Protein backbone atom coordinates (compact mmCIF):
# COMPACT_ATOMS: atom_id res chain seq x y z
CA UNK A 1 0.00 0.00 0.00
CA UNK A 2 1.43 3.35 -1.03
CA UNK A 3 2.10 6.13 1.51
CA UNK A 4 1.71 8.82 -1.20
CA UNK A 5 -1.18 11.26 -0.59
CA UNK A 6 -4.03 11.02 -3.10
CA UNK A 7 -3.92 13.38 -6.07
CA UNK A 8 -6.34 16.32 -5.89
CA UNK A 9 -9.46 16.03 -8.00
CA UNK A 10 -8.53 19.28 -9.76
CA UNK A 11 -5.68 21.77 -9.81
CA UNK A 12 -6.10 25.51 -9.19
CA UNK A 13 -6.21 27.54 -12.38
CA UNK A 14 -3.15 29.57 -13.23
CA UNK A 15 -3.46 33.29 -13.64
CA UNK A 16 -2.29 35.00 -16.81
CA UNK A 17 1.43 35.06 -17.38
CA UNK A 18 3.45 38.22 -16.84
CA UNK A 19 3.91 38.64 -20.57
CA UNK A 20 0.15 38.48 -21.14
CA UNK A 21 -0.44 41.07 -18.41
CA UNK A 22 2.26 43.34 -19.84
CA UNK A 23 0.86 43.05 -23.38
CA UNK A 24 -2.66 43.83 -22.27
CA UNK A 25 -1.42 46.82 -20.27
CA UNK A 26 0.52 48.04 -23.31
CA UNK A 27 -2.61 47.81 -25.47
CA UNK A 28 -4.64 49.76 -22.89
CA UNK A 29 -1.93 52.42 -22.71
CA UNK A 30 -1.72 52.57 -26.51
CA UNK A 31 -5.49 52.85 -26.78
CA UNK A 32 -5.63 55.80 -24.37
CA UNK A 33 -2.80 57.57 -26.20
CA UNK A 34 -4.43 56.94 -29.59
CA UNK A 35 -7.79 58.13 -28.30
CA UNK A 36 -6.16 61.33 -27.03
CA UNK A 37 -4.31 61.99 -30.28
CA UNK A 38 -6.81 60.77 -32.88
CA UNK A 39 -10.20 60.64 -31.19
CA UNK A 40 -12.73 57.79 -31.34
CA UNK A 41 -11.68 56.89 -34.91
CA UNK A 42 -8.29 55.64 -33.67
CA UNK A 43 -7.54 52.47 -35.64
CA UNK A 44 -6.35 49.11 -34.37
CA UNK A 45 -3.14 49.62 -36.37
CA UNK A 46 -2.50 52.92 -34.61
CA UNK A 47 -3.14 51.36 -31.20
CA UNK A 48 -0.92 48.32 -31.78
CA UNK A 49 1.84 50.52 -33.17
CA UNK A 50 1.79 52.68 -30.03
CA UNK A 51 1.69 49.52 -27.90
CA UNK A 52 4.56 48.01 -29.90
CA UNK A 53 2.72 44.73 -30.46
CA UNK A 54 1.67 42.85 -33.60
CA UNK A 55 -1.74 43.50 -35.13
CA UNK A 56 -2.80 39.90 -34.56
CA UNK A 57 -1.94 40.13 -30.88
CA UNK A 58 -4.79 42.59 -30.43
CA UNK A 59 -7.40 39.84 -30.99
CA UNK A 60 -5.82 37.64 -28.34
CA UNK A 61 -6.96 40.19 -25.75
CA UNK A 62 -9.99 42.06 -27.16
CA UNK A 63 -12.80 41.15 -29.53
CA UNK A 64 -13.40 44.65 -30.87
CA UNK A 65 -11.72 48.04 -31.01
CA UNK A 66 -14.59 49.56 -29.02
CA UNK A 67 -14.10 47.01 -26.23
CA UNK A 68 -10.49 48.13 -25.87
CA UNK A 69 -11.25 51.86 -26.04
CA UNK A 70 -14.02 51.56 -23.44
CA UNK A 71 -11.85 49.53 -21.05
CA UNK A 72 -8.94 51.93 -21.49
CA UNK A 73 -11.10 54.95 -20.65
CA UNK A 74 -12.89 53.21 -17.78
CA UNK A 75 -9.65 52.01 -16.18
CA UNK A 76 -7.88 55.35 -16.57
CA UNK A 77 -10.82 57.26 -15.09
CA UNK A 78 -11.14 54.77 -12.23
CA UNK A 79 -7.44 55.22 -11.46
CA UNK A 80 -7.72 59.01 -11.62
CA UNK A 81 -10.79 59.02 -9.38
CA UNK A 82 -8.98 56.67 -6.98
CA UNK A 83 -6.22 59.25 -6.67
CA UNK A 84 -8.86 61.88 -5.92
CA UNK A 85 -10.27 59.61 -3.21
CA UNK A 86 -6.85 59.56 -1.55
CA UNK A 87 -6.95 63.36 -1.21
CA UNK A 88 -10.28 63.47 0.66
CA UNK A 89 -9.84 63.58 4.46
CA UNK A 90 -11.94 61.03 6.33
CA UNK A 91 -13.34 63.84 8.47
CA UNK A 92 -14.29 66.01 5.47
CA UNK A 93 -17.72 67.60 5.58
CA UNK A 94 -20.00 67.23 2.56
CA UNK A 95 -19.14 70.82 1.56
CA UNK A 96 -15.39 70.17 1.74
CA UNK A 97 -15.60 66.84 -0.09
CA UNK A 98 -17.69 68.24 -2.95
CA UNK A 99 -15.37 71.22 -3.35
CA UNK A 100 -12.28 68.99 -3.46
CA UNK A 101 -13.78 66.50 -5.92
CA UNK A 102 -14.82 69.25 -8.33
CA UNK A 103 -11.48 71.05 -8.06
CA UNK A 104 -9.41 67.91 -8.62
CA UNK A 105 -11.54 66.61 -11.48
CA UNK A 106 -11.44 69.99 -13.22
CA UNK A 107 -7.63 69.91 -13.03
CA UNK A 108 -7.42 66.75 -15.12
CA UNK A 109 -5.72 68.63 -18.02
CA UNK A 110 -2.78 69.38 -15.69
CA UNK A 111 -2.79 66.19 -13.64
CA UNK A 112 -3.34 63.72 -16.48
CA UNK A 113 -3.25 65.49 -19.87
CA UNK A 114 -3.49 62.27 -21.89
CA UNK A 115 -6.63 61.21 -20.05
CA UNK A 116 -8.10 64.72 -20.40
CA UNK A 117 -7.54 64.69 -24.17
CA UNK A 118 -9.00 61.18 -24.48
CA UNK A 119 -11.95 62.09 -22.24
CA UNK A 120 -12.69 65.17 -24.36
CA UNK A 121 -12.24 63.61 -27.79
CA UNK A 122 -14.15 60.44 -26.97
CA UNK A 123 -17.12 62.20 -25.42
CA UNK A 124 -16.33 61.53 -21.79
CA UNK A 125 -19.97 62.05 -20.83
CA UNK A 126 -20.64 58.69 -22.52
CA UNK A 127 -17.44 56.62 -22.47
CA UNK A 128 -16.24 55.68 -19.01
CA UNK A 129 -17.67 58.70 -17.22
CA UNK A 130 -20.06 56.49 -15.21
CA UNK A 131 -17.34 55.70 -12.67
CA UNK A 132 -16.72 56.25 -9.00
CA UNK A 133 -16.73 60.02 -9.62
CA UNK A 134 -20.46 59.92 -10.29
CA UNK A 135 -21.09 57.56 -7.40
CA UNK A 136 -19.19 59.80 -4.99
CA UNK A 137 -20.96 62.94 -6.23
CA UNK A 138 -24.35 61.29 -5.79
CA UNK A 139 -23.36 60.17 -2.30
CA UNK A 140 -21.93 63.48 -1.11
CA UNK A 141 -24.96 65.45 -2.34
CA UNK A 142 -27.29 63.06 -0.53
CA UNK A 143 -25.18 63.35 2.64
CA UNK A 144 -25.10 67.15 2.46
CA UNK A 145 -28.86 67.41 2.01
CA UNK A 146 -29.54 64.89 4.79
CA UNK A 147 -27.37 66.69 7.36
CA UNK A 148 -28.49 70.20 6.37
CA UNK A 149 -25.25 71.40 4.77
CA UNK A 150 -26.92 71.78 1.35
CA UNK A 151 -30.35 73.05 2.28
CA UNK A 152 -33.31 71.48 0.50
CA UNK A 153 -31.82 71.38 -3.01
CA UNK A 154 -33.26 69.11 -5.69
CA UNK A 155 -30.70 66.24 -5.60
CA UNK A 156 -31.18 65.28 -9.25
CA UNK A 157 -30.71 68.85 -10.48
CA UNK A 158 -27.71 69.33 -8.19
CA UNK A 159 -26.15 66.08 -9.46
CA UNK A 160 -26.66 67.14 -13.08
CA UNK A 161 -25.10 70.54 -12.40
CA UNK A 162 -22.02 69.16 -10.62
CA UNK A 163 -21.29 66.37 -13.09
CA UNK A 164 -22.19 68.38 -16.18
CA UNK A 165 -20.11 71.42 -15.30
CA UNK A 166 -17.17 69.25 -14.17
CA UNK A 167 -17.02 67.23 -17.37
CA UNK A 168 -17.58 70.32 -19.50
CA UNK A 169 -14.71 72.15 -17.83
CA UNK A 170 -12.32 69.31 -18.67
CA UNK A 171 -13.38 69.45 -22.34
CA UNK A 172 -13.22 73.25 -22.51
CA UNK A 173 -9.87 73.50 -20.76
CA UNK A 174 -8.39 70.77 -22.95
CA UNK A 175 -9.54 72.51 -26.13
CA UNK A 176 -8.69 76.02 -24.85
CA UNK A 177 -5.78 75.79 -22.36
CA UNK A 178 -5.86 79.51 -21.56
CA UNK A 179 -8.86 78.73 -19.34
CA UNK A 180 -6.94 78.32 -16.10
CA UNK A 181 -7.61 76.50 -12.86
CA UNK A 182 -9.13 79.68 -11.45
CA UNK A 183 -12.23 78.95 -13.54
CA UNK A 184 -12.43 75.45 -12.04
CA UNK A 185 -12.36 76.91 -8.54
CA UNK A 186 -14.88 79.62 -9.45
CA UNK A 187 -17.36 77.07 -10.84
CA UNK A 188 -16.98 74.90 -7.71
CA UNK A 189 -17.60 77.97 -5.53
CA UNK A 190 -20.65 78.96 -7.60
CA UNK A 191 -22.14 75.46 -7.31
CA UNK A 192 -21.64 75.43 -3.53
CA UNK A 193 -23.56 78.69 -3.21
CA UNK A 194 -26.38 77.17 -5.29
CA UNK A 195 -26.50 74.47 -2.60
CA UNK A 196 -27.05 77.18 0.04
CA UNK A 197 -23.52 77.03 1.40
CA UNK A 198 -22.49 80.34 2.99
CA UNK A 199 -20.64 82.41 0.32
CA UNK A 200 -17.72 83.04 2.68
CA UNK A 201 -17.35 79.34 3.45
CA UNK A 202 -17.69 78.43 -0.24
CA UNK A 203 -14.94 80.88 -1.16
CA UNK A 204 -12.65 79.59 1.57
CA UNK A 205 -13.14 75.97 0.49
CA UNK A 206 -12.42 76.78 -3.15
CA UNK A 207 -9.45 79.12 -2.75
CA UNK A 208 -7.01 76.91 -0.84
CA UNK A 209 -3.88 75.44 -2.42
CA UNK A 210 -4.74 71.87 -1.39
CA UNK A 211 -5.70 70.63 -4.90
CA UNK A 212 -2.07 70.08 -5.95
CA UNK A 213 -1.78 66.37 -6.65
CA UNK A 214 1.46 64.75 -7.86
CA UNK A 215 0.83 62.88 -11.07
CA UNK A 216 1.39 58.83 -10.38
CA UNK A 217 -15.35 78.75 -34.48
CA UNK A 218 -17.36 81.60 -34.35
CA UNK A 219 -20.83 81.31 -35.86
CA UNK A 220 -20.81 81.61 -39.66
CA UNK A 221 -23.48 83.08 -41.90
CA UNK A 222 -23.94 81.83 -45.47
CA UNK A 223 -22.89 84.35 -48.09
CA UNK A 224 -25.78 86.07 -49.81
CA UNK A 225 -26.01 87.44 -53.35
CA UNK A 226 -26.27 91.21 -53.29
CA UNK A 227 -26.49 92.12 -56.98
CA UNK A 228 -30.00 92.43 -58.44
CA UNK A 229 -28.95 92.58 -62.11
CA UNK A 230 -26.21 90.65 -63.86
CA UNK A 231 -24.89 90.06 -67.34
CA UNK A 232 -25.29 86.74 -69.16
CA UNK A 233 -21.77 85.80 -68.11
CA UNK A 234 -22.41 86.53 -64.46
CA UNK A 235 -25.73 84.67 -64.63
CA UNK A 236 -23.91 81.57 -65.88
CA UNK A 237 -21.38 82.03 -63.09
CA UNK A 238 -24.16 82.35 -60.53
CA UNK A 239 -25.82 79.23 -61.89
CA UNK A 240 -22.55 77.36 -61.45
CA UNK A 241 -22.19 78.77 -57.93
CA UNK A 242 -25.71 77.62 -57.16
CA UNK A 243 -24.95 74.09 -58.36
CA UNK A 244 -21.76 74.12 -56.31
CA UNK A 245 -23.64 75.21 -53.19
CA UNK A 246 -26.21 72.46 -53.71
CA UNK A 247 -23.51 69.82 -54.16
CA UNK A 248 -21.64 70.97 -51.08
CA UNK A 249 -24.89 71.12 -49.11
CA UNK A 250 -25.82 67.58 -50.14
CA UNK A 251 -22.45 66.30 -48.90
CA UNK A 252 -22.79 68.18 -45.60
CA UNK A 253 -26.36 66.97 -45.04
CA UNK A 254 -25.33 63.40 -45.84
CA UNK A 255 -22.53 63.64 -43.29
CA UNK A 256 -24.90 65.05 -40.66
CA UNK A 257 -27.38 62.22 -41.22
CA UNK A 258 -24.70 59.53 -41.09
CA UNK A 259 -23.05 61.06 -38.03
CA UNK A 260 -26.41 60.85 -36.26
CA UNK A 261 -27.14 57.27 -37.34
CA UNK A 262 -23.72 55.63 -37.48
CA UNK A 263 -21.17 57.80 -35.65
CA UNK A 264 -17.82 59.07 -36.86
CA UNK A 265 -16.36 55.80 -38.14
CA UNK A 266 -17.47 56.54 -41.72
CA UNK A 267 -15.66 56.13 -45.03
CA UNK A 268 -15.66 58.86 -47.67
CA UNK A 269 -17.26 56.38 -50.06
CA UNK A 270 -20.12 55.86 -47.60
CA UNK A 271 -20.67 59.61 -47.38
CA UNK A 272 -20.55 60.26 -51.13
CA UNK A 273 -22.95 57.39 -51.78
CA UNK A 274 -25.39 58.86 -49.28
CA UNK A 275 -25.01 62.29 -50.91
CA UNK A 276 -25.32 60.92 -54.44
CA UNK A 277 -22.07 62.53 -55.63
CA UNK A 278 -18.73 61.28 -56.88
CA UNK A 279 -15.62 60.88 -54.75
CA UNK A 280 -13.98 63.60 -56.85
CA UNK A 281 -16.79 65.98 -55.89
CA UNK A 282 -16.01 65.36 -52.23
CA UNK A 283 -12.41 66.54 -52.65
CA UNK A 284 -13.55 69.58 -54.59
CA UNK A 285 -15.06 70.92 -51.36
CA UNK A 286 -13.26 69.17 -48.48
CA UNK A 287 -9.63 68.19 -48.04
CA UNK A 288 -10.34 65.65 -45.29
CA UNK A 289 -13.19 63.86 -43.59
CA UNK A 290 -12.54 65.86 -40.41
CA UNK A 291 -13.00 69.09 -42.38
CA UNK A 292 -16.39 67.81 -43.55
CA UNK A 293 -17.37 66.83 -40.01
CA UNK A 294 -16.55 70.34 -38.83
CA UNK A 295 -18.73 71.81 -41.60
CA UNK A 296 -21.55 69.41 -40.72
CA UNK A 297 -21.26 70.42 -37.06
CA UNK A 298 -21.53 74.10 -37.97
CA UNK A 299 -24.47 73.41 -40.29
CA UNK A 300 -26.32 71.46 -37.62
CA UNK A 301 -25.62 74.12 -35.02
CA UNK A 302 -26.83 76.82 -37.42
CA UNK A 303 -30.09 74.96 -38.01
CA UNK A 304 -30.62 74.52 -34.28
CA UNK A 305 -29.71 78.10 -33.37
CA UNK A 306 -31.94 79.56 -36.09
CA UNK A 307 -34.83 77.60 -34.63
CA UNK A 308 -34.14 78.87 -31.10
CA UNK A 309 -33.59 82.49 -32.12
CA UNK A 310 -36.72 82.53 -34.30
CA UNK A 311 -38.70 81.68 -31.15
CA UNK A 312 -36.89 83.95 -28.69
CA UNK A 313 -36.38 87.10 -30.78
CA UNK A 314 -39.86 88.45 -29.97
CA UNK A 315 -39.41 88.04 -26.19
CA UNK A 316 -38.76 91.51 -24.77
CA UNK A 317 -37.41 90.79 -21.29
CA UNK A 318 -33.69 89.80 -21.56
CA UNK A 319 -33.92 87.34 -18.66
CA UNK A 320 -37.02 85.67 -20.12
CA UNK A 321 -35.32 85.52 -23.53
CA UNK A 322 -32.20 83.85 -22.17
CA UNK A 323 -34.14 81.34 -20.06
CA UNK A 324 -36.36 80.38 -23.00
CA UNK A 325 -33.26 79.82 -25.14
CA UNK A 326 -31.81 77.55 -22.46
CA UNK A 327 -35.09 75.65 -22.07
CA UNK A 328 -35.08 74.97 -25.81
CA UNK A 329 -31.37 74.10 -25.64
CA UNK A 330 -32.04 71.28 -23.19
CA UNK A 331 -34.85 70.03 -25.39
CA UNK A 332 -32.65 69.57 -28.46
CA UNK A 333 -33.26 65.79 -28.55
CA UNK A 334 -36.99 66.56 -28.93
CA UNK A 335 -36.86 69.33 -31.52
CA UNK A 336 -33.81 68.20 -33.54
CA UNK A 337 -33.03 64.57 -32.69
CA UNK A 338 -30.70 64.07 -35.65
CA UNK A 339 -28.61 67.10 -34.66
CA UNK A 340 -28.46 65.93 -31.03
CA UNK A 341 -27.29 62.44 -32.03
CA UNK A 342 -24.70 63.84 -34.45
CA UNK A 343 -23.25 66.19 -31.82
CA UNK A 344 -23.05 63.40 -29.25
CA UNK A 345 -21.31 61.11 -31.73
CA UNK A 346 -18.83 63.86 -32.56
CA UNK A 347 -17.99 63.83 -28.88
CA UNK A 348 -17.20 67.43 -27.96
CA UNK A 349 -19.76 70.23 -28.13
CA UNK A 350 -17.15 72.73 -27.00
CA UNK A 351 -14.76 72.28 -29.92
CA UNK A 352 -16.47 74.71 -32.26
CA UNK A 353 -16.54 77.74 -29.99
CA UNK A 354 -13.86 80.13 -28.74
CA UNK A 355 -13.34 79.59 -25.01
CA UNK A 356 -15.82 76.71 -25.10
CA UNK A 357 -18.92 78.89 -24.83
CA UNK A 358 -21.51 79.56 -27.50
CA UNK A 359 -21.22 83.23 -28.53
CA UNK A 360 -24.90 83.85 -29.27
CA UNK A 361 -26.11 82.41 -25.96
CA UNK A 362 -23.34 84.21 -24.12
CA UNK A 363 -24.57 87.43 -25.73
CA UNK A 364 -28.09 86.79 -24.42
CA UNK A 365 -26.67 86.21 -20.96
CA UNK A 366 -24.64 89.43 -21.15
CA UNK A 367 -27.73 91.37 -22.28
CA UNK A 368 -29.63 90.20 -19.19
CA UNK A 369 -26.72 91.32 -17.00
CA UNK A 370 -26.53 94.70 -18.77
CA UNK A 371 -30.27 95.18 -18.19
CA UNK A 372 -29.67 94.35 -14.51
CA UNK A 373 -31.94 91.33 -14.73
CA UNK A 374 -29.02 89.06 -13.79
CA UNK A 375 -26.32 89.73 -11.23
CA UNK A 376 -22.89 90.88 -12.49
CA UNK A 377 -20.67 87.97 -13.55
CA UNK A 378 -17.33 89.30 -14.88
CA UNK A 379 -15.86 85.83 -15.51
CA UNK A 380 -19.03 84.32 -16.95
CA UNK A 381 -18.96 81.54 -14.36
CA UNK A 382 -22.73 81.25 -14.09
CA UNK A 383 -23.12 80.82 -17.83
CA UNK A 384 -20.23 78.33 -18.04
CA UNK A 385 -21.79 76.23 -15.28
CA UNK A 386 -25.20 76.20 -16.93
CA UNK A 387 -23.80 75.49 -20.41
CA UNK A 388 -21.87 72.48 -19.15
CA UNK A 389 -24.87 71.18 -17.27
CA UNK A 390 -27.14 71.44 -20.30
CA UNK A 391 -24.58 69.72 -22.54
CA UNK A 392 -24.51 66.87 -20.02
CA UNK A 393 -28.30 66.79 -20.06
CA UNK A 394 -28.52 66.68 -23.86
CA UNK A 395 -25.96 63.88 -24.02
CA UNK A 396 -27.68 61.85 -21.32
CA UNK A 397 -31.02 62.23 -23.07
CA UNK A 398 -29.53 60.87 -26.30
CA UNK A 399 -27.70 57.88 -24.77
CA UNK A 400 -30.19 56.92 -22.04
CA UNK A 401 -33.94 56.75 -21.60
CA UNK A 402 -36.19 58.11 -18.91
CA UNK A 403 -34.96 61.72 -18.85
CA UNK A 404 -37.51 64.08 -20.38
CA UNK A 405 -37.15 67.62 -21.63
CA UNK A 406 -38.94 68.84 -18.52
CA UNK A 407 -35.86 68.00 -16.45
CA UNK A 408 -34.28 71.03 -18.16
CA UNK A 409 -36.63 73.20 -16.12
CA UNK A 410 -35.59 71.44 -12.90
CA UNK A 411 -31.93 72.21 -13.67
CA UNK A 412 -32.76 75.82 -14.48
CA UNK A 413 -34.75 76.07 -11.27
CA UNK A 414 -31.63 75.00 -9.39
CA UNK A 415 -29.14 77.26 -11.23
CA UNK A 416 -31.10 80.47 -11.92
CA UNK A 417 -31.17 81.73 -8.31
CA UNK A 418 -27.40 81.98 -8.63
CA UNK A 419 -27.98 84.54 -11.41
CA UNK A 420 -29.70 86.86 -8.95
CA UNK A 421 -33.33 85.94 -9.68
CA UNK A 422 -35.67 85.43 -6.74
CA UNK A 423 -37.37 82.04 -6.30
CA UNK A 424 -40.67 83.66 -7.22
CA UNK A 425 -39.24 85.06 -10.47
CA UNK A 426 -37.72 81.69 -11.34
CA UNK A 427 -41.04 79.93 -10.79
CA UNK A 428 -42.95 82.46 -12.89
CA UNK A 429 -40.49 82.28 -15.79
CA UNK A 430 -40.47 78.46 -15.84
CA UNK A 431 -44.27 78.31 -15.73
CA UNK A 432 -44.41 79.86 -19.19
CA UNK A 433 -44.96 77.31 -21.95
CA UNK A 434 -41.95 76.27 -24.01
CA UNK A 435 -42.00 75.01 -27.59
CA UNK A 436 -40.15 71.76 -28.15
CA UNK A 437 -40.77 70.91 -31.78
CA UNK A 438 -39.95 72.85 -34.94
Give pLDDT, residue 3: 58
From 258-262, 325-329, 347-351, the region with the lowest mean pLDDT = 347-351
pTM: 0.79
**Residue 385 to residue 188: CA distance in whole angstroms:** 9
14 compared with 179, residue with greater pLDDT: 179
Asked whether the predicted pLDDT for residue 285 surpasses 80, the reply is: yes
Q: Using 50, 70 and 90 to split pLDDT, how confident is the model at 252? A: confident
Q: For 302-318, what is each residue's pLDDT tens digit?
A: 888 888 888 998 999 99
35 compared with 356, residue with greater pLDDT: 35
Among 171-175, 395-399, 421-425, which range has the highest average pLDDT? 421-425
CATH architecture of 19-205: Orthogonal Bundle (1.10)
Q: For 42-97, what is each residue's pLDDT tens digit?
A: 889 999 999 998 888 889 889 888 889 888 888 888 888 888 998 999 999 999 99
CATH number, span 239-376+403-410+429-438:
1.10.357.10
Q: Which of 136, 150, 128 is nearest to 84 (CA)?
A: 136
Q: For 41-51, what is each residue's pLDDT tens digit?
A: 788 999 999 99
Give pLDDT, residue 359: 58
Q: Which of 318, 308, 326, 349 is nearest to 407 (CA)?
A: 326
SS (H, E, C) the chain: CCCCCCCCCCCCCCCCCHHHHHHHHHHHHHHHHHHHHHHHHCCHHHHHHHHCCCHHHHCCCCCCHHHHHHHHHHHHHHHHHHHHHHCCCCCCCHHHHHHHHHHHHHCHHHHCHHHHHHHHHHCCCCCCCCCHHHHHHHHHHHHHHHCCCCCCCCHHHHHHHHHHHHHHHHHHHHHCCCCCHHHHHHHHHHHHHHCCCCHHHHHHHCCCCCCCCCCCCCCCCCCCCCCCCCCHHHHHHHHHHHHHHHHHHHHHHHHHHHHHHHCCCCCHHHHHHHHCCCHHHHHHHCCCHHHHHHHHHHHHHHHHHHHHHHHHCCCCCHHHHHHHHHHHHHCHHHHCHHHHHHHHHHCCHHHHCHHHCCHHHHHHHHHHHHCCCCCCCCCCHHHHHHHHHHHHHHHHHHHCCCCCCCHHHHHHHHHHHHHCCCHHHHHHHHHCCCCCCC
Q: Using 50, 70 and 90 to split pLDDT, how confident is the model at 159? A: very high
Give pLDDT, residue 289: 83
Give pLDDT, residue 7: 54
Asked whether the predicted pLDDT for residue 373 surpasses 90, the reply is: yes
Q: Which of 252, 236, 145, 157 is nearest to 196 (CA)?
A: 145
What value does the mean pLDDT take over residues 364-386?
A: 94
Q: Which of 174, 66, 169 is nearest to 115 (CA)?
A: 174
Q: Using 50, 70 and 90 to split pLDDT, how confident is the model at 230? A: very low
Q: Using 50, 70 and 90 to split pLDDT, how confident is the model at 16? A: low
What value does the mean pLDDT take over residues 365-383?
A: 94
Asked whether the predicted pLDDT for residue 181 surpasses 50, the reply is: yes
Query: Which regions of the chain carry the CATH code 1.10.357.10?
Result: 19-205, 239-376+403-410+429-438
230 compared with 194, residue with greater pLDDT: 194
What value does the mean pLDDT take over residues 121-128?
A: 54
Give pLDDT, residue 132: 67
**Residue 136 to residue 150: CA distance in whole angstroms:** 16
Amino acid sequence: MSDQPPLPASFPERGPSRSVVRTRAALLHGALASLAAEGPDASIDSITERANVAHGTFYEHFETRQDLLTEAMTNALADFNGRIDEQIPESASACEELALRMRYFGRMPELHPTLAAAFSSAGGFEVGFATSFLEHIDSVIARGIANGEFGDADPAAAFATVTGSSGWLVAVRTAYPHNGTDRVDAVAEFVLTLLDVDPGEAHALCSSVRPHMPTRKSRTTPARLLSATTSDVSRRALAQQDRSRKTRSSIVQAALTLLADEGTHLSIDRITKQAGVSRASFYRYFATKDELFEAASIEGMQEWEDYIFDITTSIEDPADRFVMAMRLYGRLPDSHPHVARAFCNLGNFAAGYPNGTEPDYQALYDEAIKARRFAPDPQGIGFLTLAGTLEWLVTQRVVTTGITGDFTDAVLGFVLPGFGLSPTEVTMILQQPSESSP
